[in-house]
Amino acid sequence: MSSAVTSQPGQEKSGFNGTGAAPPLGCPPGLEYLAQMDEVYLNQKVDLLEILTNTALEVPNRYSVENSSGQRAYFAQEESECCNRICCGPNRGFQMHITMNDGREVIRCEREFKCCAGCCWCANGDHCGWEMTVEAPPGNLIGYIKQNGSKWKMNLTLYDANRQKLYDIWSKCCPIFCICCIDDINFYVHDAKSGNKLSPRIYKKWAGWVRECCTRADLLVCEFPGMDVKEKALFVCACFMIDVMVFEPQKKNNN
């Protein structure tokens, strides 16, 4: 792949400057803002080219990572090969570069291309389940996100840098998400050791009829009160993986 993204488009909203509180011990550089946030909004940017071509031309995904007030704290830009996007769609390999408002990259996650991955029935094998590596900052591995096999529901597991299980993320029973689903679509978080359901969650907010019908831009929310900042970074990257695995195929079918 090409070199990392070092700049970003003009800011539509004022940047989030944090509260000025001291960063927690061991906080990776650039994640001080994330350490102060209990929830983030991943607002996928609408691309005019995809609308004009009725999604026939797949462009890299871009997201504004915002706080609850709509202030942008980070910007996320996908890096992937054009032919891979067009021919493989949601099965493509990609890197996601998460940068601060000044363009400095603070998180990088990567999902390598696998020709036979994606099916939840076969995802227990190393070659048949998606896996994403997360670095913060780039070059400093903080964890992994791996798809697990299941009979029906989507299941992801978050690991730390030593491959110790942290959390499981489960979708709801219904695997069909369409523009008629105007309620929040929840992905619940469970402790990987005890299996107990926890208060953090990831969910997709319904973005209105026009945006849901005419675009493939999603709005995802990640709630993680009281979590370690590295775990928060893993959850943010899990949102990118969920969006590509679950909602991108559905939006393409709807269009």
- Break the chain into its structural domains and give their ranges: 31-254
The residue with greater pLDDT, 97 or 152, is 97
Q: Which tokens in the block code for residue 215?
A: 């675009």
Return the half-sphere exposure (C-beta side, CA atoms, 13 A cut-off) of residue 252.
18
Q: Can you tell me the distance from the alpha carbon of 133 to that of 20, in angstroms, rounded to the nearest whole number?
A: 30
Query: How far, rounded to the nearest angstrom, does the alpha carbon of residue 61 sit from its chain's CA centroid?
Result: 11
Q: Can you tell me the distance from the alpha carbon of 221 to that of 103, in angstroms, rounded to the nearest whole number?
A: 23
The whole-number average pLDDT for the span 186-199 is 92
Q: Which long-range contacts (CB under 8 A, 24 or more apart) does 233-236 make?
A: 233/28, 233/31, 233/34, 233/107, 233/134, 233/136, 233/142, 233/143, 234/134, 234/142, 234/143, 234/145, 234/158, 234/166, 235/158, 235/200, 235/202, 236/34, 236/40, 236/42, 236/65, 236/98, 236/107
Q: What is the pLDDT of residue 169?
A: 94
The whole-number average pLDDT for the span 217-222 is 83
The whole-number average pLDDT for the span 1-16 is 45
- For residues 223 and 169, the answer to whether their CB atoms sit within 8 Å is no
**pLDDT per residue as tens digits for the range 52-97:** 555 556 788 999 999 988 899 999 999 999 888 888 888 899 999 9
- For residues 76 and 96, the answer to whether their CB atoms sit within 8 Å is yes
The residue with greater pLDDT, 98 or 123, is 98
Residue 30: name the closest of 79, 96, 102 by CA. Answer: 102
Q: What is the pLDDT of residue 59?
A: 82
Question: Counting Cβ atoms within 10 Å, is residue 181 exposed (0-12), middle (13-18) or buried (19+)?
Answer: middle
The residue with greater pLDDT, 167 or 25, is 167
The residue with greater pLDDT, 246 or 164, is 164
Q: How many CB atoms lie within 10 A of CB 18?
A: 15
- For residues 156 and 241, the answer to whether their CB atoms sit within 8 Å is yes
Question: Which secondary-structure segment (H or E) carries 143?
Answer: strand 141-147
Q: What is the pLDDT of residue 48?
A: 66
CA-only gyration radius of the chain, Å: 17
pTM of the model: 0.81
The whole-number average pLDDT for the span 185-193 is 92
Residue 167: name the closest of 190, 201, 139, 195 by CA. Answer: 190
Q: Can you tell me the distance from the alpha carbon of 79 to that of 149, in angstroms, rounded to the nearest whole number?
A: 27
Asked if the model's pLDDT at residue 185 lies above 90, the reply is: no
